Amino acid sequence: MPTAKQLADIGYKTFSSSMMLLTVYEGYLCSVKVYHYFQRRRAQHQAAKEQKTSGNL
């Protein structure tokens, strides 16, 4: 039977590990969002450039 201190240590380690995983996952989600933002921005820039060149003809 674990002591109260051992249970507290296990609880602390479990909580810390879950917070670490959530932080890593949040970083992943943030980087995906930034990547899509720049992809969309590049596509819009390219579309505007193509529209500008086709309008000059």
Q: What is the pLDDT along the chain (57 residues), one digit of tens a residue?
A: 889 999 999 999 999 999 999 999 999 999 999 999 999 999 999 999 988 888 665
Q: What is the pLDDT of residue 43?
A: 96
All residues at 6 or more sequence positions from 2 whose CB lies less than 8 Å from its CB, including other chains: 10
Q: What is the pLDDT of residue 56?
A: 65
Q: What is the pLDDT of residue 57?
A: 55
Q: What is the pLDDT of residue 7?
A: 95
The SS3 assignment for 1 reads coil
Amino acid identity for residue 47 in this structure: A
- Dihedral sign computed on CA atoms, order 30, 32, 35, 41: negative
